[in-house]
A and B are shown apart, each in its own frame.
Chain A
Amino acid sequence: GAVVSQHPSWVICKSGTSVKIECRSLDFQATTMFWYRQFPKQSLMLMATSNEGSKATYEQGVEKDKFLINHASLTLSTLTVTSAHPEDSSFYICSAIQQGRNSPLHFGNGTRLTVT
């Protein structure tokens, strides 16, 4: 149980275009989802916390207008990278948490974004 599906797993796009990444909790309701960015051989960098039905909370230094997050339902959150540039190329990972104390995070398999 507790599967998180992230799609697409790999995307290549041209500079200036927008890319949408979906994160779905398949068998549980996730009131909170998190979006991370990971650079090669580095740890996770939390970008934003997404709560269903409300605006996402962005970490310092993350541009809200560039990384649009929508958490429209208890099983779906989306991250849209707008007007992508080569420096946005990275590995983006979402995670979701079930309600309840001490629940672990469940991660998607990540999306490799390459902007040319």
Chain B
Amino acid sequence: GDSVTQMEGPVTLSEEAFLTINCTYTATGYPSLFWYVQYPGEGLQLLLKATKADDKGSNKGFEATYRKETTSFHLEKGSVQVSDSAVYFCALSDGGTGNQFYFGTGTSLTVIP
């Protein structure tokens, strides 16, 4: 079945460092891919998405490219800020009428000044 494998954390970076959080997926069809962010004590917020191969999702300086050949959707940011400290979830939607979503285990990011 469909699944998402996400880089385990926690990740600790200094401010302005480069961030990569790896995410790979397994899917039988043509899924859509998402990154969600969860700040402490809050629900999840959609960060970015990509709905087909080679699409690049971007938002707030974060980017992720839908790579079908490597079944990956790695999250990147060139220069992280303290305010980026949160838990990041990679997710997949099978895109069918069932609208099933599959989440990775989450990666905790802490950015230190």
Q: Which residues of A contact B (CB under 8 A)?
A: 4, 6, 32, 34, 41-44, 93, 95, 97, 101-110, 112
Contact A44 B103, CB 8 Å, known A93-B44, A110-B43: yes
Q: Is the CB of B46 within 8 A of A105?
A: yes
- A106–B34 Cα distance when bound, in Å, is 12
Chain B residues positioned under 8 Å from A6 (CB to CB): 43
- A41–B109 Cα distance when bound, in Å, is 12
Selected contact of B89 from candidates A32, A43, A102, A110, CB within 8 Å:
A43
- A32–B89 Cα distance when bound, in Å, is 21
Q: Which of A4, A93, A102, A108 has the most CB of B within 10 A?
A: A102
We find that the number of chain B residues with CB closer than 8 angstroms to chain A is 22
Q: Is the CB of A32 within 8 A of B45?
A: no
Chain A residues positioned under 8 Å from B20 (CB to CB): none
Contact A43 B103, CB 8 Å, known A102-B93, A104-B34: yes
Q: Which of A4, A95, A101, A112 has the most CB of B within 10 A?
A: A101
Selected contact of A32 from candidates B34, B99, B104, B106, CB within 8 Å:
B99
Chain B residues positioned under 8 Å from A112 (CB to CB): 41
Minimal beta-carbon separation of A9 from chain B (angstroms): 9
Give the residues from 79 to 97 in chain B that come closer than 8 angstroms, CB to CB, to chain A.
89, 91, 93, 95
Give the residues from 10 to 64 in chain B that come closer than 8 angstroms, CB to CB, to chain A.
32, 34, 36, 41-46, 49, 51
Chain A residues positioned under 8 Å from B51 (CB to CB): 102
- A106–B43 Cα distance when bound, in Å, is 9
Chain A residues positioned under 8 Å from B32 (CB to CB): 101-102, 104
**Is B105 interfacial (CB 8 A cutoff)?**
yes
